[in-house]
């Protein structure tokens, strides 16, 4: 790999440079302005995920320059962690509601989704990742997945691999996913392919760690063009935490069963099933599932029917063991310990 | 004051005993059960304020013993800080929705309010408070206020004072308040009385500090039967913080204007007025107004049109100055510094 700029060489994860890396987003302002004009909108709501909230005021400025003076632009201050996590208050009270950073989870004209495609060049890091994939002469089959931010380059990624002798296994997954090859933090159905190795192209470890937990038999290679590093997903720490949480919950008498009220994170039937069969289970409803909010509930353990990544990634921060519905079944003795699977989320709302 | 039990003597605020003090709440279970039966309810939602959330599961147990097996009891896990702060998600999705710990802010059959009257005896601490009030021969007039928890003893309090020679000034306040003599953290209209001294009977300093800020010319005596202590409200620390925040915000260019989406905390017109006259103001909508949520917004200062107690009590925890609408007018030069008033909240929703 040739040196392209002062930022293009080396692993940037701990340098503070990763966020300064050459990234620009396309906010698709003209598409939004057209919708505002078409609908003669008076109120426009903008929702950004946490990592992009800082850009909100600038985007509001850019829109205000382009629309009538009497249009009110409203920025959602609610936390947002996915396409599942719409600010429904704002959505219902604005004429145009724009959700940035994610691709549509459901086909609806109530929401304008602006996925924010990244302009980061993925080929240098894919070149580097070849060393970590099997040689195509030994095992040519490779699954290829990415996130909403890089979907615009998916065909380029596929061609890159095919030109080097790989057979790319690719599928769309289920209805929760918009695009072929797309993964979400809670859904890796696009990696349900025969290949033994999966190449994930995208920023961070959040998505590939879920992928590796969902597919423990596959070799998951992470080509991260944002932090400029290639790694292999290692789930050992997470799996130890999951088994630890299950064991600590085995003696629990009082269970808090969390039903998440976020539009795309509710699994009512799973919550109801647990309540029906366990007299010591209490249903707790909430949108943000945080350690602070649960500390006031004097339970021995919790089972979270909402976002599985709260359970697996934030689990150790809660004051009592926090399990997925499948882990709950193990802890109460309905299922054997070796039935442990990563909790995934399907369907929309 | 005679010694009634091992817990009845002395200031309990720093002993950890205050919470063990002889308090029992009346959850009015029979009233709730009657409503469940009358409405043939399938889903029942229970909402408790933060300090009482721990009691939720026990109340759910007590209800489950008294209702049909197929009734689902749901506990709200949303933070709750007042009658203004209804879990509208749960309210809309349950047949019976019970809000504990506050008196009604609005007359509606969508909510069953159970105020949770305290059984703490208030006369010993009122006896002690007499030393801190003016002698009735010198100044017999006294305002009398309390919170929802002690409203059931309001007439007893009034008689206690009248028997000792005081003239009790009492009024209901405005429509945000249910009872004569009741105060809220954001509304002290019931203390708009001629008396120069106000006796507050109730737990904690939250309410009387607001009262003293709203009525800086009055002598506010706190008779706290929960912590067993009499003090005089002192607003100096708070007032210094308010002036400090205003001064730090005077150079602000970019303003975040917070509109709170909680049902009883929205002041849309005040937010809109600021936006209309300030091109560098950005409207941010949210339910919980927390330092974490605002840290992602790169503003120089914030003006909070929602709960004024977030602004005054939590203000120093935010990364940038957080002002009330009135303080904003001072900071931007529309009003003089000496126009500073405590921000109160009127009306319902």
Whether the per-residue pLDDT at B234 is higher than 60: the answer is: yes
Q: Which CATH superfamily is domain B236-339 in?
A: Diphthamide synthesis DPH1/DPH2 domain 3 (3.40.50.11860)
39-58 in A: which are within 8 Å (CB) of B? 45, 50, 53-54, 56-57
3-state class (DSSP) for residue B88: helix
Q: Which CATH superfamily is domain B29-114 in?
A: Diphthamide synthesis DPH1/DPH2 domain 1 (3.40.50.11840)
Chain B residue numbers with beta carbons less than 8 Å from the beta carbon of A283 are 72-75
Write phi, then psi, for A298 (nearest 5 degrees): -85, 65
Residue A45 corresponds to which tokens in the numbers above? 């709501």
Predicted pLDDT at A198: 98
Q: Which residues contact A338 (CB under 8 A, 6 or more apart)?
A: none
Residue B283 CA to residue B303 CA, distance in Å, equals 10
Tally Cβ neighbours within 10 Å of residue B301. 24
What average pLDDT does range B272-299 have in this prediction?
Answer: 96
Alpha helices in chain B (DSSP H): 29-39, 56-66, 88-93, 123-129, 154-163, 206-214, 236-249, 268-277, 291-295, 308-314, 325-331
Distances (CA, A) of A60 to A57, A232, A234, B282, B283: 5, 39, 40, 8, 10
Residue B210 CA to residue A209 CA, distance in Å, equals 49
Q: Which residues contact B271 (CB under 8 A, 6 or more apart)?
A: B257, B258, B259, B283, B305
Assess contact for A334 and A165: CB atoms under 8 A.
no
- To the nearest whole Å, the CA of A254 is away from the closest chain B CA by 9
User: Are A285 and B53 in contact (CB < 8 Å)?
Assistant: no
B176 touches chain A (CB under 8 A): no
B17 touches chain A (CB under 8 A): no
Predicted pLDDT at B118: 87
User: Are A285 and B50 in contact (CB < 8 Å)?
Assistant: no
Identify the closest residue of chain B to A87 by CA–CA distance: B286
Whether the per-residue pLDDT at B6 is higher than 70: the answer is: no
User: Are A45 and B87 in contact (CB < 8 Å)?
Assistant: no
Identify the closest residue of chain B to A73 by CA–CA distance: B283
User: Are B283 and A72 in contact (CB < 8 Å)?
Assistant: yes
User: Are B296 and A60 in contact (CB < 8 Å)?
Assistant: no
**What DSSP character marks residue A101?**
S
Identify the closest residue of chain B to A295 by CA–CA distance: B54
Residue A281 corresponds to which tokens in the numbers above? 């289970």
Write phi, then psi, for B146 (nearest 5 degrees): -155, -175
Assess contact for A281 and A275: CB atoms under 8 A.
yes
Residue B76 CA to residue A296 CA, distance in Å, equals 11
Predicted pLDDT at B3: 40
Identify the closest residue of chain B to A291 by CA–CA distance: B77
Predicted pLDDT at A162: 98
Q: Which of A135, A342, A134, A126 is nearest to A242 (CA)?
A: A342
Residue in A90, A254, A272 closest to B57 by CB: A254
Predicted pLDDT at B8: 47
Residue A241 CA to residue A257 CA, distance in Å, equals 20
Q: Which residues contact B61 (CB under 8 A, 6 or more apart)?
A: none
Assess contact for A74 and B271: CB atoms under 8 A.
no
Predicted pLDDT at A12: 67
A87 touches chain B (CB under 8 A): yes
Domain spans, chain B: 29-114, 123-232, 236-339
DSSP string, B20-39: GSS--B---HHHHHHHHHHH
A322 touches chain B (CB under 8 A): no
DSSP string, B202-215: SSSSHHHHHHHHH-
E strand or H helix at A64 = helix A56-64
- To the nearest whole Å, the CA of A287 is away from the closest chain B CA by 7
B278 touches chain A (CB under 8 A): no
Tokens 């931010």 belong to: A149
User: Are B294 and A77 in contact (CB < 8 Å)?
Assistant: yes
- To the nearest whole Å, the CA of B10 is away from the closest chain A CA by 28
Whether the per-residue pLDDT at B4 is higher than 70: the answer is: no
- To the nearest whole Å, the CA of A179 is away from the closest chain B CA by 29
pLDDT by 10-residue block (mean), chain A, 349 residues: 47 61 77 97 97 93 96 98 96 98 92 92 96 97 96 97 97 93 96 97 95 96 95 94 97 98 96 96 98 95 97 95 98 96 92
- To the nearest whole Å, the CA of B51 is away from the closest chain A CA by 8
* pLDDT tens readout for residues A178-228: 999 999 999 999 999 999 999 999 999 999 999 999 999 999 999 999 899
Residue A101 corresponds to which tokens in the numbers above? 């950073």
Sheet of strand A301-304: strand arrangement: A322-323, A301-304, A255-260, A281-286, B72-76, B43-47, B96-100, B112-114
Chain A residue numbers with beta carbons less than 8 Å from the beta carbon of B77 are 258, 284-286, 289, 293-294, 297
Chain A residue numbers with beta carbons less than 8 Å from the beta carbon of B63 are none
Predicted pLDDT at A214: 95
User: Are A54 and B296 in contact (CB < 8 Å)?
Assistant: yes
Residue B188 corresponds to which tokens in the numbers above? 């002290």
Residue A183 CA to residue A342 CA, distance in Å, equals 14
Residue in B78, B90, B293 closest to A77 by CB: B293
Q: Which residues contact A222 (CB under 8 A, 6 or more apart)?
A: A200, A202, A205, A208, A229, A230, A231, A232, A233
Chain A residue numbers with beta carbons less than 8 Å from the beta carbon of B89 are 261, 285, 287
Residue A267 CA to residue A119 CA, distance in Å, equals 36
Domain A29-114 and domain A236-339 have a common topology:
yes
B44, B270, B285: best mutation site toward chain A, by most A Cβ within 10 Å? Answer: B285
Residue B101 CA to residue B52 CA, distance in Å, equals 8
Task: Report ipTM for this prediction.
Answer: 0.90
Residue B249 CA to residue A260 CA, distance in Å, equals 38
Predicted pLDDT at A1: 38
Q: Which CATH superfamily is domain B123-232 in?
A: Diphthamide synthesis DPH1/DPH2 domain 2 (3.40.50.11850)
User: Are B287 and A78 in contact (CB < 8 Å)?
Assistant: yes
Assess contact for B177 and B198: CB atoms under 8 A.
no
pLDDT, chain B, mean: 93
Sheet of strand B219-224: strand arrangement: B167-169, B141-146, B197-201, B219-224, B229-232
Q: Compute the count of residue pairs across chains A and B with CB atoms less than 8 Å apart.
A: 101
- Percent of chain B whose predicted confidence (pLDDT) is above 70: 94
Assess contact for B183 and B200: CB atoms under 8 A.
yes
115-144 in A: which are within 8 Å (CB) of B? none
- To the nearest whole Å, the CA of B126 is away from the closest chain A CA by 32
DSSP string, B224-242: ETTTTEEEE---HHHHHHH
B296, B297, B306, B310: best mutation site toward chain A, by most A Cβ within 10 Å? Answer: B296
Predicted pLDDT at A15: 63
Chain B residue numbers with beta carbons less than 8 Å from the beta carbon of A288 are 288
* pLDDT tens readout for residues B11-49: 767 665 555 444 578 899 999 999 999 999 999 999 999
Residues B56, B57, B62, B63, CA torsion sign: positive
């Amino acid at each position: 790999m040739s040196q392209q700029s002062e930022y293009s060489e080396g692993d940037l994860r701990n340098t503070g440079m990763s966020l300064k890396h050459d990234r620009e987003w396309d906010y698709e302002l003209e598409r939004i302005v057209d919708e505002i004009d078409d609908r003669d909108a008076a109120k426009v709501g903008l929702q950004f995920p946490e990592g992009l909230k800082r850009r909100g005021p600038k985007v509001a400025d850019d829109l205000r320059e382009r629309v009538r003076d009497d249009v009110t632009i409203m920025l959602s201050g609610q936390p947002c962690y996915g396409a599942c996590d719409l600010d429904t208050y704002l959505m219902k009270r604005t004429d145009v509601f724009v959700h940035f950073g994610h691709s549509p989870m459901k086909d609806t004209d109530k929401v304008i989704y602006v996925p924010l495609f990244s302009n980061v060049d993925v080929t240098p890091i894919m070149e580097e990742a070849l060393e970590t994939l099997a040689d195509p002469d030994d095992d040519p089959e490779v699954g290829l997945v990415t996130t909403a931010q890089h979907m615009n380059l998916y065909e380029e990624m596929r061609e890159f691999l095919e030109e080097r002798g790989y057979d790319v296994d690719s599928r769309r997954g289920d209805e929760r996913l918009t695009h072929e090859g797309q993964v979400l933090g809670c859904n890796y159905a696009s990696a349900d392919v025969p290949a033994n190795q999966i190449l994930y192209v995208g920023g961070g470890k959040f998505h590939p760690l879920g992928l590796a937990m969902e597919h423990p038999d596959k070799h998951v290679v992470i080509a991260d063009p944002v932090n400029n590093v290639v790694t292999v997903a290692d789930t050992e720490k997470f799996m130890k935490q999951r088994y630890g949480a299950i064991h600590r919950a085995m003696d629990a008498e009082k269970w808090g069963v969390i039903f998440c009220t976020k539009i795309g994170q509710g699994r009512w039937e799973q919550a109801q099933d647990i309540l029906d069969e366990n007299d010591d289970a209490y249903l707790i409803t909430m949108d943000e599932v945080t350690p602070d909010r649960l500390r006031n509930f004097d339970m021995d353990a919790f089972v979270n029917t909402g976002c599985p990544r709260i359970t697996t990634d934030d689990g150790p921060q809660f004051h009592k063991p926090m399990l997925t519905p499948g882990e709950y079944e193990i802890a109460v003795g309905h299922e054997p310990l070796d039935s442990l699977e990563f909790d995934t989320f399907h369907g929309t709302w």
